[in-house]
Amino acid sequence: MSSPQPRIGVVTFPGSQDDRDALWALAALDAEPVPVWHADDDLPDLDAVVLPGGFSYGDYLRCGAIARFSPAMAAVAEFAAGGGLVLGICNGFQILCEAGLLPGVLRPNESLSFICRDVRIRVERSDTPFTTRCEPDEELVIPVKHGEGSWFVPDHDLAELEARGAVVLRYAEPCNGSVADVAGVVNPAGNVMGLMPHPEHAVDPLLGSSDGALILASLVDAARDRALAAA
């Protein structure tokens, strides 16, 4: 095969809900999805990792706070430190923030209501491994479904993060009370991103939008490049 399928792991924690959708979406976008169990100390040979949505470990204490200490997360942190691509979706984003791999924290929605609907999201950066298939300033329609999606950092941190281009995605309409309408952020090295919207639920037009495929296919492209470079 001229264009090999990159191997992308999806970590299942107790309480993960969207792991199977993520595996399905990655397969639909021509990646080889690889299930990873939260209790595994080591990751298999992978070109990227996805942390899926859900309520890992019941989201006890704070969302993502317990999952952060799972054996697989230690392996994911090591993978990220070595430059590996990591995408956290919803609960996965919350876990990455609690783990200190991404800045900020996700707090209860300003409205205190669980929000489950399609939202418009603006692409602020199309030069990350997670957004290369998007146009700058493009608006995407991707569903959110969360009770704790209000991203927060103190004012002085926000100015610094905006200056370094940490904000990749912003809500283009009022959503959950996030500081500066932030929907997704990337780390300084550019290999770890988290977002609250669910691209894996927007991969087939039958479900209302296939804009999520732009994000996941960008990840698949970047993972494939890495697989080829390593080969």
Partner 1 sequence: MKATVLVRPKHGILDPQGEAVESSLRQLGFAVDGARIGRVVDLDVEADDAASARAEVERMCEQLLANPLIESYEIELAETGA
Catalytic positions are 90, 198, 200
Q: Which residues contact 212 (CB under 8 A, 6 or more apart)?
A: 25, 140, 142, 197, 198, 199, 200, 201, 202, 203
Contacting partner 1 (CB under 8 A), which of 54, 104, 129, 197? 104
Q: How far is the CB of 161 from partner 1 (least distance, A)?
A: 13
Residue 122 found at the interface with partner 1 (CB under 8 A): no
Residue 71 found at the interface with partner 1 (CB under 8 A): no
Question: With respect to partner 1, which residue has the nearer C-beta, 27 or 61?
Answer: 61
Contacting partner 1 (CB under 8 A), which of 61, 81, 159, 228? 61
Question: With respect to partner 1, which residue has the nearer C-beta, 61 or 81?
Answer: 61
Residue 109 found at the interface with partner 1 (CB under 8 A): yes
Q: Give, as ranges, the residues between 149 and 178 that touch partner 1 (CB under 8 A).
A: 152-154, 177
Contacting partner 1 (CB under 8 A), which of 18, 47, 98, 211? 98
Residue 115 found at the interface with partner 1 (CB under 8 A): no
Residue 146 found at the interface with partner 1 (CB under 8 A): no
d(C-alpha 140, C-alpha 120), whole Å: 6
Residue 62 found at the interface with partner 1 (CB under 8 A): yes
Q: How far is the CB of 49 from partner 1 (least distance, A)?
A: 23
Residue 24 found at the interface with partner 1 (CB under 8 A): no
Q: Give the binding-site size for partner 1 (rule: CB under 8 A).
A: 17
The DSSP secondary structure of the chain, one letter per residue, reads: --SPPPEEEEEEPTTB-SHHHHHHHHHHTT-EEEEEETT-SS--S-SEEEE--B-GGGG-SSTTTTGGGSHHHHHHHHHHHTT-EEEEETHHHHHHHHTTSSSSEEE--TT-S-EEEEEEEEES-S-STTTTTSPTT-EEEEEEEESS-EEE--HHHHHHHHHTT-EEEEESS--S--GGGEEEEE-TTSSEEEESS-GGGSSSGGGT--THHHHHHHHHHHHHHHHHHH-
Segment contacting partner 1 by CB under 8 A, of 17-25, 103-111, 123-131, 133-141: 103-111
Contacts to partner 1 by CB under 8 A: 61-62, 65, 69, 98, 104-105, 107-112, 152-154, 177
